[in-house]
């Protein structure tokens, strides 16, 4: 349920179960929803996305209260919880559906994402490795099947993401 004072951000950082989990832990995040974005077809099913045939990335759309948490804060969480130098792979998940990507919702988010990516590259945190994260315009968000939503908590699993 969307709140009138909320904003949205959309991130792809590997398997969406872990991405959703770490964003749900952030005070000011109202909701985090697993889904698919960035592909060529009009409707996606998990089975097709997982095979890598749709062009979609597994993403999480984050609804947040900007009076409690900023988009820049969410970017820091995004960078910290995946490897942005790994092209089309996070851990054992391999394929374009697991790419590192930020789908910006407006010009301000685009500028903040680009500045954040540049600052990370200049920080030396990843050595000489290139940050491969895409920063692209928002596309149609396809909500993933219900069993994917809040998957880690529903199944009493540890987070599948590693803090970097």
CA 17-23-29 angle, to 5 degrees, is 135
Q: Does domain 7-154 have CATH number 3.30.1060.10?
A: yes
> Which regions of the chain does DSSP assign to beta strands (E)?
7-13, 29-37, 57-64, 89-90, 93-94, 100-104, 134-137, 142-143
Instruction: Pick the catalytic residue from 8, 9, 12, 15.
Output: 15
Cα separation, 38 vs 35, in Å, equals 11
Output the pTM of the full model.
0.92
Going by pLDDT thresholds of 50, 70 and 90, the confidence category of residue 85 is very high
> pLDDT digits over 10-27, tens only?
999 999 989 999 999 999
Structure token digits, residue 107: 């010009």
160 a catalytic residue? no
- Given a cut of 80, is residue 160 above it in pLDDT? no
**What sign does the dihedral 11-49-139-126 (CA atoms) show?**
positive
Give the model confidence (pLDDT) of 98-147 as tens digits: 999 999 999 999 999 999 999 999 999 999 999 999 999 999 999 999 88
> What are the tokens at 31?
């909701």
């Amino acid at each position: 349920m969307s709140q009138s004072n909320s904003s949205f951000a959309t991130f792809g950082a590997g398997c969406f179960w872990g991405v959703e989990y770490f964003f749900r832990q952030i005070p000011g995040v109202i909701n985090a929803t697993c889904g698919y974005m960035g592909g060529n077809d009009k409707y996606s099913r998990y089975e097709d996305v997982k095979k890598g045939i749709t062009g979609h990335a597994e993403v999480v759309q984050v609804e947040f209260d900007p009076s409690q948490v900023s988009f820049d804060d969410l970017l820091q969480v995004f960078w910290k919880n995946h490897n942005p130098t790994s092209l089309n792979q996070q851990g054992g998940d391999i394929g374009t559906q697991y790419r590192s990507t930020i789908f910006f919702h407006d010009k301000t988010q685009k500028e903040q994402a680009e500045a954040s990516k540049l600052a990370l590259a200049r920080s030396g945190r990843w050595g000489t490795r290139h940050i491969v994260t895409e920063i692209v315009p928002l596309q149609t968000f396809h909500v993933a099947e219900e069993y994917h939503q809040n998957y880690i908590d529903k199944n009493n699993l540890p987070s599948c993401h590693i803090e970097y």
